[in-house]
Amino acid sequence: MTGIPYDWLEGLLVLLGASVLLVLVVVISVIKNMGIAREMLLAVLKGGGQLLAIALFLTFLFGFDQWYFLIWLLLGTMVAVSGHTAARRAADMPGAFQVTTPAILAGAAAALVVLAFSRAMPLHPQFIVPLAGMAFGNSMKICSLSLERLMREVRANRTAIETALSLGATSRQALEEYGKISVKASLIPTIDSLKTLGIIFIPGAMAGLLIAGTDPLVAAEYQIIVYLMIVGGGIISSLLASTLSRPKLFTAAEQLQPWV
Amino acid sequence: MVTVTGLSKSLDGRQVLRSIDLDVRRGEIMALVGPSGGGKSTLLRCLNRLLEPDEGTITFQGTDIRDVPPVTLRRSLVLVPQESVMFPGTVYANVAYGPALQGTADHEHVVRCIADAGLPSSLVHRPADKLSGGEKRRVALARALALRPDVLLLDEPTAGVDPKNVETVEQHIVEFSRSRGLTVLWVTHDVSQAKRVSHRTAGLRDGTVGEINATDSFNWEGVY
């Protein structure tokens, strides 16, 4: 197997060819006055631009002797951006960034350390960058879902929480049930994807490896490794998001914060 | 037993309580009467420190409640809120909730509290969320009693109770207050209920306490 049978210049021509479908959709949306053409084009240009930028950065990184300096910079950026993005899900929680950032960092870091020690991730930028991207991206997604659900549960069950507090429960005890619900809910999409792996869709890492010409068995093994990382790191992020939210939701006197 | 001095509290920019002074004596049932929105529930929530007053002090057995750990305070001054939320599980599990948190759930005590609240023994193992509104109110009362409190803060304890059972629930509360020497602050908007159950009455209107007097001598004219 040889992977994609052309270089980057030919790739541009192929890209133009593949854009025919997009042009067709844009034309239809203009004719039908659907009002999405502009947003769709902007999204494609933004996403495409970001991918090309990271590709140029990776080309430089892979050939750079002191790559580890840049890797730390890249990982730091991933921490800040993912923490900030997840915090927007709980915009009305003061200091949500202080919850999401350590939660995502801990989940993603735990996953990457395990991958490094198990030799699934050789310490080379070619492996570290994409796997770190997956680890941070998934921890961010799971952390966002967890926090959003937790806020919803707390608001919907405010009376039950205050009833528990009135009966002498600590804030930890009063919140415990809703923390469990939020962690479970945040993992449902990942668990559903696990159940349908290989049946409904071939996931990203495996699809990429197959396109690059890797043996399907090796590609499948690697995908399983990636999913283990996603689930493990995600659970850590979700649990931490729930735990770190408690001091934000309650006062030192074990009262629900007025903004909840 | 419980002394409130100069208590004020604003919620959402509206002053709900204005410089409240109140003294609840050991072993008495004090009715807190007044129109809806007058600040009765807010006052109860300040007393067990679910809310922090803006000004003023509350002492419980001579100690400022801010000097007592909130969890300890709430096990002594137990609030039964107006809405009876049932936790998942049986009536028994609900009533044992508070003691179980402390690791002191005593089967006989839990069963006695269920009976004292006027619930038939046939309901003990029924799922609590399947009960009627009135039965849930009684589970909430039993749940509070199970903590062996010193003070019960009851917010409209007969709201949602079938009218023919209201007096039965009242009698149960009066009886367990008497038999346990329990101090009760009983919020009600029902003047006749206050007359039936309380030793003293305080009128709360527009966030201010007007008259505090023995229920027999209370001037009901100015309450509403």
Q: Taking residues B46-51, what's their average pLDDT? A: 95
Does the pLDDT value for residue B185 go beyond 60? yes
pLDDT score of B186: 96
Confirm or reject contact between A254 and chain B (CB < 8 A): yes
Q: Using one digit for the tens of pLDDT, what is the confidence trace for B196-208? A: 999 999 999 888 9
Is A3's pLDDT higher than 80? no
From B74, B81, B88, residue closest to A168, measured CB to CB: B74
* Cβ(B212)–Cβ(B202) below 8 Å: yes
pLDDT digits (tens, 9 = 90+) for A5-61: 778 788 888 888 888 888 888 889 888 888 888 888 888 888 889 888 988 888 888
Distance from CA of B186 to the nearest CA of A (A): 16
- Comparison of pLDDT for A3 and B67, the residue scoring more: B67
| Phi and psi torsions of B212, nearest 5° | -125, 120
Q: Does A138 have pLDDT greater than 80?
A: yes
pTM over 0.95: no
Q: Is A168 on the interface with B (CB under 8 A)?
A: yes
Q: In what order do the strands lie in the sheet with B63-64?
A: B14-24, B2-11, B55-60, B63-64
Q: What is the CA radius of gyration of chain B?
A: 17
Residue A255: pLDDT band (50, 70, 90) is very high
Q: What tokens does B49 get?
A: 């420190």
What is the pLDDT averaged over residues B143-164? 90
Instruction: Please give the average per-residue pLDDT across A170-179, as a whole number.
Output: 94
Grade residue A65 by pLDDT with cuts at 50, 70 and 90: confident
- Kindly state whether A255 is in contact with chain B, defined as any CB-CB distance less than 8 angstroms: yes
**Mean pLDDT throughout B27-41?**
91
Query: How close B191 comes to chain A (CA, Å)?
Result: 27
* All structural domains of chain B: 2-213 (3.40.50.300)
Q: Are A185 and A149 in contact (CB under 8 A)?
A: yes
Per-residue pLDDT tens digits for A120-130: 888 888 889 88
B194 touches B33 (CB < 8 A)? yes
Closest CA to A82 of A67, A71, A94, A97: A97
Partners of residue A160 in chain B, C-beta under 8 Å = 85, 87
- Cα A60 → chain centroid: 25
Closest-CA residue in chain B for A256?
B50
Q: What is residue A12's predicted lDDT score, i.e. its pLDDT?
A: 83
pLDDT band at B72 (very low <50, low <70, confident <90, very high): very high
User: At A2, is the pLDDT very low, low, confident or very high (cuts 50, 70, 90)?
Assistant: low
Judge: A253–B98 Cβ closer than 8 Å, yes or no.
no
What mean pLDDT is predicted for residues B123-130?
Answer: 93
